[in-house]
A = this chain, B = another copy of it.
Amino acid sequence: MNTVWVRSSRGRYPIFVGHGLLAKSGVLLTASGLKGKVMIVTQKPVARFHLAAVLKSFRRKGIRSQIHFLSEGEKAKSEKELFRLLHALVKYSFERHDTVFALGGGVVGDLAGFAAAAYLRGISFVNAGTTLLAQVDSSIGGKTGINLREGKNLVGAFYPPNLVISDIGSLSTLPDREFRASLAEAVKYGIIRVPQLFDMFEKKSGSILARNRKLLTLLVTACARIKARVVSRDEREIKGERMILNYGHTFAHAFEQALRYKTLLHGEAVAIGMVCAAELAVLLGLLSPLEAQRQRQLLERLHLPVSLRGFHLRVRDVLFAMMRDKKKRGGALRFVLPVRMGRVVIREAIPIPLIRRVIFSAGGRS
């Protein structure tokens, strides 16, 4: 088991990465000083694979628990589901020292984390991410929240967990497409911060796709370390440090919105977004075409989409989504652009024709 520590406004917290950790949940909670009862928040498909192990480990340590099922998919991140959980916490007399335990992907962690933050103005929170995306990204850093009909993650809290449990074993139950899509975020960490991680991806892409247990432990630990370092320095996303995590995301969010969150998984949109960001960096003379090529080839080797071809997206719809997002999110349209492997810069005020050209070369329709 590897342990990565994160500094946060609520004190530092550990991320435990290893195989079979869900079956040790009870021990990990107790060892982390958590007392009281636990509300396990999960979704049916996840529960089928993992709930029994968690419950058994709680029983063994004498931890009382309740189970709360969220509705399935992204629609669980709603006002309605948030208050359903809050009322359940009241019903079972949860108190400040009791714990909300998120068992599932990013959706579960985001909703359960926000409920933990808001209930009695904050109770203990454990994030046990069962997807690769949760383990390398969303379970670390304290971003929690729900969607409004007007947009995603518009309401929430920065609420660091008390601990994070990343059981590599749970990754074996993920559908292929979802697993691959999440690899895009892992590749991202290599490009923005750690060239060696990118190198490992290039050398071992086959074993990674085959979900080699040792490699995945290495991979998740490496990503957790990078994200932990970034969010420890800029928890509330104020200093810009945390912004580098958005590499590829200015494009990706626009693709997702223009496609109304259908067709592309988030990680797939990020893969195409990173290709676009690298292309933009090349056009601006920041990155060598060879490096951009290297990134694109790796993504292809991981069976990730690298162009918009086939998605019937119009360039102007993507631009429109980008502008709306910009307006909603705060003034400037910012791009995280690679300058070499492991190093990125943040640029604003990119000429619109350049952005248009990049989306067009990526297969956007005129």
Contacts and interface: CB of A to CB of B under 8 A. Distances in A.
A8 to B, nearest CB: 11
B157 A95 contact: no
A119 B86 contact: no
A146 to B, nearest CB: 9
Contacts of A97: 330-331
Nearest to A146: B118
A37 interface: no
Nearest to A328: B93
A91 B150 CA distance: 9
Given A121-B143, A122-B236, A145-B121, A95 B328 contact: yes
Contact of A150 (B90, B117, B148, B236): B90
A62 to B, nearest CB: 18
Interface residues of A, number: 35
Contacts of A157: 117-118, 121-122, 157
A120 B147 CA distance: 10
Interface string A248-282: 00000000000000000000000000000000000
15 contacts: A9-B9, A79-B83, A87-B150, A90-B154, A90-B328, A91-B150, A93-B328, A95-B329, A118-B156, A119-B155, A120-B154, A120-B155, A121-B144, A121-B156, A122-B157
Interface of A: 9, 79, 83, 86-87, 90-91, 93, 95-97, 117-122, 143-145, 148, 150-151, 153-158, 236, 327-331
Enumerate the 3 nearest inter-chain pairs by beta-carbon distance, A residue then B residue, closest first: A95-B330, A90-B150, A121-B156
